[in-house]
């Protein structure tokens, strides 16, 4: 069985005896008997060891300082261990002391000897912690990582992965069921000489050993609770991030996050290891988890550096070559800009300044006019969705700021050092603060629902970006079941999730549940054909829920009901859009409103508002009976399940009513004359009987066709509304039209809307195209939804 967990404790977590006890407690309560542990030197021991070297180098006395360090260790031993173990550790410590004295007595210390001096800090911690754990009765062993990690020398040691992996695996096998306490920070070359992994290198040791040991989880126990979305020492309402993707963490580390070290993240790439950062002082609190892939977009993080080194120069050769060189030396700029006249700017941390400078001064790079500025600081935002925040961030930039540098994971600017804190606060408030959350409820999960989810998942990111808001699908409702998810429904698995997790619902409770959702606004998309649902619209509105309808039944309901709905909307910031209920995606209502807003007045509307009836009449040429065509259309799925719902003209009558009301005619459905194609005798009989007698439609149709043909006309089923002598005339029915007329020349399945107005008198405005179908209907719903969202954020 592979081991699961590696814990790493830094110097601040091991600063005194109480800290050690706390660490032992964490390992005993959070861990398993075979955990791996990586430790740093206690407190500031490493600094102390470096100081001893410096004293020796400068010919000063080091003996006294060495005794301070040894006493510190001795004290820890006395305070933490009982007699027998204490004695053994004391003995080993005095051996170490003499070894250090003999090292310092050498005339000159070479690099490896110096490293060996510094390595004692980690070795003492590992030894002490293992003893302390044994004291609690558990098996624990300290291991010197120089026996595990083999490296070649370079600017930083280059670990030989295969050999090191084999050694790590061997150690695991040799000590199954023991907690192994491993020194961080140190490794060895092939001659066994000591190499150091750089300051703060123990984090790197931890992730490296975890990847070699095939561990699932590394926890870095430190003195902060994790990664915050801004520096909590500077920003009052900075929030702890619960999750972060490895890419984001990596970028953040590169830009100077105080918690994460760039190099320590590298071993995690291409592994499944997740990394937790949490506080050893408050082990019960929340923490940050960095995973190879974070499933949901994390909140953005704002970070800053009070000052950076900005190199500015002209370059005559290829910049790519320079970047490669820098990259090769591990010197990736924090951000870079290309200015006019081949001028390039590269920002680096001060730490890297000297190395970069000497590189830029190398001959042959074609660099001239090199200039260095150190009076600028950096403010950056890191997020996998960084692009979403670009506009918001850019609006905050003063004239002194560098334009935003972006790389997909971050947005970076430089400003004079004195402005860094203020800009950080502003970016935090504007971009990392709460965004408006707009929850969408999908009522109806069939065919059109599917097309809409598809469209929504394709357009959501762009919409969120445009609006600087978060629009999420939070509910799916069929007539019987509902699935509500405050955090958002997964757009990839929504169908399955609905089938598996939806529960029965009742209107009474539903609204309570909807109101409990943590959303700033809710928008319901009614893509059902349910009359019962439209009866709930007043309830939706009174609870402040906006509605988008593809459902025609509310817009064409009884006038009193319709008026009540409009009254409810009144002057409130509440929206009801129903562009999809008429002509699907065709922008009919848009056009009518547009004309109205531009001072036009609409006089008449006519057209073919049914794709089914359009299809039937474009196809009918009397060569085969009309009823046969109807059955063919039914077979193709072009008609309603009961074709009489199309043939009755009801549907067109409702659409005409919606448009009539849209342009201000307050009428009832019955004010529109309806001439059904279904004879009375066939209207109310069961469907199967109707289908059996459907040929009764044929005789009348044939006669009409022939009579019309004699006058050079064709049959069309049309809707029309006009004001004649001050009287409104509205009707739906079959008409004879000229063969040249637009109605006579449609693509089967189209809708056409012909609008006559003051501005479009002799030559009316015509809108035509596919007027039904899942994609165009979904598009109409999405367009209404987007419009409402836009209206909502524009405050
Ligand atoms: N003890 C070493 C240092 O202080 C390594 C570490 O703490 O990560 O840099
Ligand atoms: Mg440290």
Let me know if residue 464 belongs to a domain. Answer: yes
Nearest alpha-carbon partner for 306 in 406, 239, 377:
377
146 in a domain, yes or no? yes
Residue 276 lies in a domain: no
Whether the pLDDT of residue 585 is over 90: the answer is no
pLDDT digits (tens, 9 = 90+) for 311-365: 999 998 888 888 888 988 889 999 999 888 789 999 999 989 999 999 999 888 8
Q: How far is the CA of 67 from the centre of ligand 1 (A)?
A: 21
Candidate from 11, 149, 218, 261 with most ligand 1 atoms within 8 A of CB, to mutate? 11
- Which stretch of DSSP H or E encloses residue 307? strand 301-315
Give the residue numbers annotated as catalytic, written as ranges.
Answer: 655
Name which residue sits closest to atom 6 of ligand 1, judged by CA. 200
Residues 213, 172: contact at Cβ < 8 Å?
Answer: yes
State the chain's mean pLDDT as an integer. 92
Query: Looking at the predicted structure, is the pLDDT value of residue 299 above 60?
Result: yes
Atom of ligand 1 nearest to the CA of 198: 9
- Give domain status of residue 599, yes or no: yes
The model's pLDDT over 465-479, given as tens digits with 9 standing for 90+, comes to 888 888 999 999 998
Q: Are residues 386 and 494 in the same domain?
A: no
Q: Is the pLDDT assigned to residue 679 strictly greater than 80?
A: yes
Q: Helices 111-135 and 17-30: crossing angle, nearest 10°?
A: 60
Categorize the per-residue pLDDT at 294 as very low, low, confident or very high, splitting at 50, 70 and 90.
low
Q: What is the position in ligand 1's atom list of the atom closest to the CA of 199?
A: 9
Are residues 82 and 132 both part of a single domain?
A: yes
* 726 and 764 share one domain: yes
How many structural domains comprise the chain?
4
Q: Which ligand is nearest to the CA of 44?
A: 1
CATH classification at residue 395:
3.30.2130.10
Residue 540 has which token pair? 């939706």
CB–CB of 245/291 below 8 Å?
Answer: yes
For the cut 90, the answer to whether the pLDDT of residue 537 exceeds it is yes
Nearest to 73 by CA among 48, 54, 101, 53: 48
518 confidence band (pLDDT: 50, 70, 90) = confident
How many Å lie between the centroid of ligand 1 and the Cα of residue 234? 26
**546 pLDDT more than 70:** yes
Q: If you average pLDDT over residues 167-193, what whole number do you get?
A: 96
Q: Which domain holds residue 484?
A: 437-582+780-793
Which residues face 371 on adjacent strands? 312
Does 232 map to a domain? no
Choose one of 45, 46, 261 to mutate for the ligand 1 pocket test, by most ligand atoms within 8 angstroms of C-beta. Answer: 46
- Position 573 confidence tier, pLDDT thresholds 50, 70, 90: confident
* For residues 21-47, average pLDDT: 94
Mean pLDDT of 215-231: 92
Same domain, 702 and 785: no
The model's confidence at residue 25, banded by pLDDT at 50, 70 and 90, is very high
> Which bound ligand lies closest to the C-alpha atom of 258?
2
Residue of the CA atom closest to atom 5 of ligand 1: 200
Per-residue confidence (pLDDT) for residue 466, from 0 to 100 = 84
In this structure, of 236-245, 290-299, 634-643, the range with the lowest mean pLDDT score is: 290-299
Same structural domain for residues 533 and 471? yes
Q: Can you tell me the distance from the alpha carbon of 393 to that of 540, in angstroms, rounded to the nearest whole number?
A: 36
C-alpha dist (Å) from residue 784 to 33, 540, 549, 593, 787: 59, 17, 9, 14, 5
Per-residue pLDDT reduced to its tens digit, 476-506: 999 889 999 988 899 999 999 999 999 998 8
Ligand 1 atom 2 nearest Cα: 200
Cα Rg, the chain, nearest whole Å: 38
228 within a domain of the structure (yes/no):
no
Nearest ligand 1 atom to the CA of 11 is 7
Ligand nearest the Cα of residue 45 is 1
- Confidence check: pLDDT of 619 > 70: yes
C-beta separation of 8 from 210 below 8 A: no
For the cut 90, the answer to whether the pLDDT of residue 604 exceeds it is yes
Same domain, residue pair 517 and 662: no
| pLDDT in the model for residue 342 | 82
Q: Distance (Å, rounded) from C-alpha 436 to C-alpha 450?
A: 26
Write down the pLDDT at residue 434.
67
Q: Of 179, 199, 223, which residue sits at a domain end? A: 223
Identify which has the larger pLDDT, 30 or 314. 314
User: What residue's CA is closest to ligand 1, atom 8?
Assistant: 200
How far apart CA 51 and CA 146 sit, in angstroms, is 23
The distance from CA 211 to its chain's CA centroid, rounded to whole angstroms, is 28
- Structural domain contains residue 275: no
Nearest residue to 194 (alpha-carbon basis) of 186, 182, 202, 203: 186
- Separation CA 734–CA 700 (nearest Å): 12
> Ligand 1 — pocket residues by CB below 6 A?
10-11, 40-41, 46, 121, 184-185, 199-203
Last residue of a domain, one of 384, 409, 432: 432
Q: How far is ligand 1, taken at its centre, from the CA of residue 14, in Å?
A: 12
Most confident of 152-161, 487-496, 705-714: 705-714
Does the pLDDT at position 301 exceed 90? yes
Query: Largest Cα–Cα distance of the chain, in whole Å?
Result: 123
475 lies in the same domain as 387 = no
Q: Which of 437, 425, 519, 487 is nearest to 237 (CA)?
A: 425
In sequence order, the 6+-apart residues with CB closer than 8 A to the CB of 173 are none
Q: Tell how far the Cα of 49 is from the centroid of ligand 1, in angstroms.
A: 11
Residues with CB under 5 A from ligand 2 (ion): 10-11, 40
**Other Cβ atoms closer than 10 A to 661:** 17
In terms of domains, do 16 and 134 share one?
yes
Please give the share of the chain, as a percent, with pLDDT higher than 90: 75
- pLDDT tens digits, 431-455: 877 678 899 999 998 888 999 999 9
pLDDT for residue 296: 57
Q: What is the DSSP letter of 228?
A: B
Is residue 534 scored above 60 in pLDDT?
yes
pLDDT band of residue 239 (cuts 50, 70, 90) is confident
Instruction: Give the tens place of pLDDT for each residue, 264-285.
Output: 999 999 998 999 999 988 888 8
Higher-confidence residue of 637 and 376: namely 376
pLDDT, mean of residues 170-179: 93
State whether 443 and 428 are in the same domain: no
Query: Given this model, what pLDDT does residue 388 score?
Result: 83
pTM, two decimal places: 0.64
- The CATH number assigned to the domain holding 541 equals 3.40.50.720
In this predicted structure, the answer to whether residue 96 has a pLDDT above a threshold of 90 is yes
Mean pLDDT of 219-229: 92
Ligand with smallest separation from the Cα of 197? 1
Please report whether residue 277 resides in a domain: no
pLDDT value at position 506? 82
CATH of the domain at 111: 3.40.1160.10
For the domain that residue 766 is a member of, what is the CATH number?
A: 3.30.360.10
Looking from the CA of residue 203, the nearest atom of ligand 1 is 8
Nearest CA among 379, 376, 465, 384 for reference residue 426: 379
User: Candidates 199, 220, 259, 262: which one to mutate for ligand 1, based on the most atoms within 8 Å of Cβ?
Assistant: 199
Contact 30, 283 (CB under 8 A): yes
The per-residue b/e assignment along 165-174, b for 16 or more CB within 10 angstroms, e otherwise, is bebbeebbee
Based on the fold, state whether residues 625 and 758 are members of the same structural domain. Answer: yes
Q: Tell me, what's the pLDDT at 789?
A: 95
The DSSP-derived string for 7-55 is: EEE-GGGGSSHHHHHHHHHHHHHH--TT-EEEE--STTHHHHHHHHHHH
Q: Kindly state the tokens that stand for 774.
A: 């899942």
- Classify burial at 490, counting beta carbons within 10 Å of its beta carbon; exposed 0-12, middle 13-18, buried 19 or more: middle
pLDDT number for residue 8? 97
How much distance in Å is there from the Cα of 467 to the middle of ligand 2?
A: 43
Which segments of 395-436 does DSSP mark as H helices, in order?
420-427
505 C-alpha vs ligand 1 centroid, how far in Å? 58
- Does residue 767 carry a pLDDT above 90? yes
pLDDT band at 696 (very low <50, low <70, confident <90, very high): very high
Confidence class of residue 430 from pLDDT cuts 50, 70 and 90?
confident
Q: Which domain-ending residue is among 157, 189, 223?
A: 223
pLDDT class for 298, splitting at 50, 70, 90? low
Same domain, 44 and 134: yes
Which one is predicted more confidently, 115 or 639? 115
Shared domain for 578 and 606, answered yes or no, is no
Q: How many angstroms does the Cα of residue 240 sit away from the middle of ligand 1?
A: 25
- Of 328 and 219, more confident: 219
């Amino acid at each position: 069985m592979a081991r699961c967990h590696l814990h790493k404790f830094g110097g601040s977590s091991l600063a005194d005896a109480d800290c050690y006890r706390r660490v032992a407690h964490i390992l005993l309560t959070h861990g398993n008997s075979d955990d791996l542990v990586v430790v740093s030197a206690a407190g500031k021991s490493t600094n102390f060891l470096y100081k001893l070297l410096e004293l020796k180098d400068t010919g000063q006395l080091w003996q006294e300082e060495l005794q301070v360090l040894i006493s510190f260790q001795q004290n820890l031993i006395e305070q933490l261990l009982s007699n027998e173990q204490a004695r053994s550790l004391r003995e080993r410590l005095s051996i170490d002391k003499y070894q250090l004295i003999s090292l310092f007595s050498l005339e000159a210390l070479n690099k490896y000897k110096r490293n060996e001096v510094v390595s004692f800090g980690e070795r003492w911690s590992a030894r002490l912690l293992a003893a302390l754990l044994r004291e609690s009765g558990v098996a624990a062993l300290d291991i010197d990582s120089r026996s595990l990690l083999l490296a070649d020398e370079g600017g930083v040691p280059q670990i030989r992965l295969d050999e090191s992996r084999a050694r790590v695996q061997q150690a695991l096998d040799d000590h199954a069921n023991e907690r192994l306490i491993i020194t961080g920070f140190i490794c060895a070359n092939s001659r066994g000489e000591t190499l150091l992994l750089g300051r703060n290198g123990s984090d790197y040791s931890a992730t490296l050993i975890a990847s070699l040991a095939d561990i699932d989880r590394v926890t870095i126990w430190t003195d902060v609770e994790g990664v915050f979305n801004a520096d909590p020492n500077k920003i009052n309402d900075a929030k702890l991030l619960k999750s972060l993707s490895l890419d984001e963490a990596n970028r953040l580390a590169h830009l100077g996050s105080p918690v994460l070290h760039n190099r320590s993240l590298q071993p995690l790439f291409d592994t499944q290891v997740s990394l937790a950062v949490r506080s050893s002082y408050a082990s019960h609190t929340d923490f940050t988890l960095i995973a190879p892939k974070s499933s949901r977009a994390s909140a953005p993080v704002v970070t800053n550096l009070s000052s950076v080194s900005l190199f500015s120069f002209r370059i005559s050769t290829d910049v790519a070559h320079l970047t490669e060189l820098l990259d090769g030396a591990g010197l990736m700029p924090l951000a870079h800009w290309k200015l006019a006249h081949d001028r390039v700017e590269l920002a680096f941390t001060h730490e890297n300044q000297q190395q970069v400078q000497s590189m830029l001064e190398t001959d042959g790079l074609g660099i001239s006019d090199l200039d260095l500025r150190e009076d600028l600081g950096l403010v950056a935002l890191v997020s996998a969705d960084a692009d979403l925040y670009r506009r918001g961030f850019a609006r905050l930039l003063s004239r002194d700021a560098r334009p935003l540098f972006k790389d997909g994971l971050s947005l970076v600017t430089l400003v004079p050092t004195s402005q860094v804190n203020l800009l950080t606060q502003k970016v935090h408030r504007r971009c990392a603060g709460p965004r408006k959350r707009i929850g969408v409820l999908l009522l109806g999960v069939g065919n059109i629902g599917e097309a809409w989810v598809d469209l929504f998942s394709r357009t959501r990111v762009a919409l969120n970006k445009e609006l600087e808001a978060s629009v999420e699908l939070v509910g799916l409702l069929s007539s019987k079941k509902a699935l509500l998810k405050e955090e958002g429904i997964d757009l990839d698995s929504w169908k399955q999730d609905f089938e598996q997790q939806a529960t029965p619902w009742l209107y009474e409770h539903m609204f309570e549940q909807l109101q409990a959702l943590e959303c700033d606004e809710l928008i319901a998309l009614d893509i059902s054909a349910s009359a019962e649902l439209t009866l709930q619209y007043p309830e939706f509105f009174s609870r402040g829920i906006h509605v988008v309808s593809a459902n025609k039944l509310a817009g064409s309901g009884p006038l009193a009901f319709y008026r009540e709905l409009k009254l409810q909307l009144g002057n409130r910031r509440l929206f009801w859009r129903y562009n999809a209920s008429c002509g699907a995606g065709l922008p009919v209502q848009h056009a009518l409103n547009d004309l109205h807003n531009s001072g036009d007045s609409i006089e008449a509307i006519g057209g073919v508002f049914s794709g089914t009836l359009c299809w039937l009449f474009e196809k009918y040429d009397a060569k085969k009976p009309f009823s046969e065509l109807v059955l063919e259309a039914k077979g193709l799925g072009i008609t309603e399940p009961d074709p009489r719902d199309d043939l009755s003209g009801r549907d067109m009558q409702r659409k005409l009513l919606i448009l009539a009301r849209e342009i201000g005619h307050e009428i009832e459905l019955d004010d529109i004359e309806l001439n059904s194609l279904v004879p009375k005798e066939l209207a109310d009989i069961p469907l199967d009987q109707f289908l059996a007698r459907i040929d009764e439609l044929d005789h009348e149709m044939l006669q009409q066709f022939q009579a019309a043909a004699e006058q050079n006309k064709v049959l069309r089923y049309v809707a029309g509304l006009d004001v004649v002598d001050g009287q409104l005339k509205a009707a739906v029915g079959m008409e004879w039209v000229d063969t040249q007329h637009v109605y006579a020349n449609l693509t089967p399945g189209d809708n056409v809307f012909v609008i006559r107005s003051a501005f479009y008198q002799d030559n009316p405005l015509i809108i035509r195209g596919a007027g039904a179908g899942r994609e165009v209907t979904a598009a109409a719903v999405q367009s209404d939804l987007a419009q409402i969202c836009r209206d909502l954020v524009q405050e």
